[in-house]
Structure 1
Amino acid sequence: MVESGVAAPANIDRAIKTAYGHAMGPLEWLDLVGLDTQQRLCRTFHEITNDPELACPKLVHVMVAAGWLGKKTGSGFYDYADTKTFGA
């Protein structure tokens, strides 16, 4: 949804947390785990299953290549130096 410009990360996370009562939204979780880690997981699952739904989104590849790995680098879907979000 972020990649296609449908919604900003904060809106996606807020919707999931509100609808499902989760403590973290999916993009907050990705920033915590690390986008590089998610990229490797997607690659592995996709290679095993050949399921296109499990392929890593292009945006994650772009962010990893740019060094935006999440909290460990200070930026990912969220900028941890301040409250700005990617794609907002």
Structure 2
Amino acid sequence: MLHEGLASAEEIDTAMKLGANHPIGPLALADMIGVDVCLFVMEILHNDFADSKFRPCPLLKKMVNAGYLGRKSGRGFFNYNK
């Protein structure tokens, strides 16, 4: 949804917190884990299971290549350098 421009990171996380009762949104969680770690895990799952549902979103690769790794780099799906 974010990659396709259908919703912002804030909108996605708010929808998951309010609509699915998640304590934290999936994008904020990815920032805490590390976008690079999430990409690495998705690549391993995709390669090992050869299942397209595990294929990483191109946005993750762009973010990692740009150094947007989440909280540890100060920027990921959200900006932490405020």
* Correspondence for 2:25: 25
| 1:16-75 Cα shifts (integer Å, max 9, x gaps) | 000121110000000000000001100100011111110110000000000000000000
Other structure's SS at 1:21 match? coil
Other structure's SS at 2:71 match? coil
Give the gaps of 5 or more residues in structure 1.
83-88
Normalising by structure 2, we get a TM-score of: 0.97
Normalising by structure 1, we get a TM-score of: 0.90
State the one-letter code of the partner of 2:68. Answer: W
| Higher helix proportion (structure 1 or 2) | 2
1:40 matched to 2:63: no
| Root-mean-square deviation over aligned CA pairs | 0.6
Percent identical pairs in the alignment equals 34
Give the gaps of 5 or more residues in structure 2.
none
Structure with more relative contact order (C-alpha pairs < 8 Å, separation 6 or more): 1
* Correspondence for 1:80: 80
Other structure's SS at 1:28 match? helix
